[in-house]
Amino acid sequence: MYIQTKYHGEVEILENDIVTFEKGIPGFPDEKKFTLLPLHDKTSVSIMQSLETARLAFVIADPYSFFDKYEFTLDENTVEQLEIKSDADVSAFVILTVRDPFEKSTANLQAPIIVNIKTYAAKQVILNNENYQTKHPLFGQLAKR
């Protein structure tokens, strides 16, 4: 299927490229279907593009590329909802607030996006961890990878 996107123009995606948020995401409860599009080759930054609304797209990143000590535990309800059987089923992303220059960008470590990579079921999880902020400096502590 072809979709219109905010940053990539018209792109073709496959049915198994669709990430589904059963209850939408906070602030966008009716937006349930997204796809992940790479921003550039060989980068940990991607675009999470709505399939329904071309102008709705989030810049997301693999948090471990920027924060080597980032960790959290999923509650049992989330594990059941996303049908997670093991840690290998899970991929985590954080939404970025991109600034100019890019070094001033921030990451929402308080609310990661969790995707079951086998079923493509997803949920944005709100963590109760005071060490993580919604606008955590992206380049405050670079991962040593």
Residues 95-142: tens digit of each pLDDT: 999 999 888 999 999 999 999 999 999 999 999 889 899 999 988 644
CA–CA gap between residue 34 and residue 52 (Å, rounded): 8
53: Cα within 13 Å, side-chain hemisphere: 11
CA–CA gap between residue 119 and residue 132 (Å, rounded): 28
CA–CA gap between residue 44 and residue 63 (Å, rounded): 8
State if pTM tops 0.85.
yes
What is the percent of the chain where pLDDT is above 70? 94
Looking at residue 42, what is its pLDDT? 63
CATH topology for the 2-137 domain: BH3618-like (2.30.290)
Neighbours of 26 (CB within 10 A): 11
Looking at residue 145, what is its pLDDT? 37
Residue-wise pLDDT tens digits, 45-60: 999 999 999 999 999 9
Give the model's confidence band at 144: pLDDT under 50 very low, under 70 low, under 90 confident, else very high.
very low
Contacts of 77 (CB under 8 A, 6+ apart): none
Which H or E run includes 92? strand 90-97
User: Does residue 12 have a pLDDT over 80?
Assistant: yes
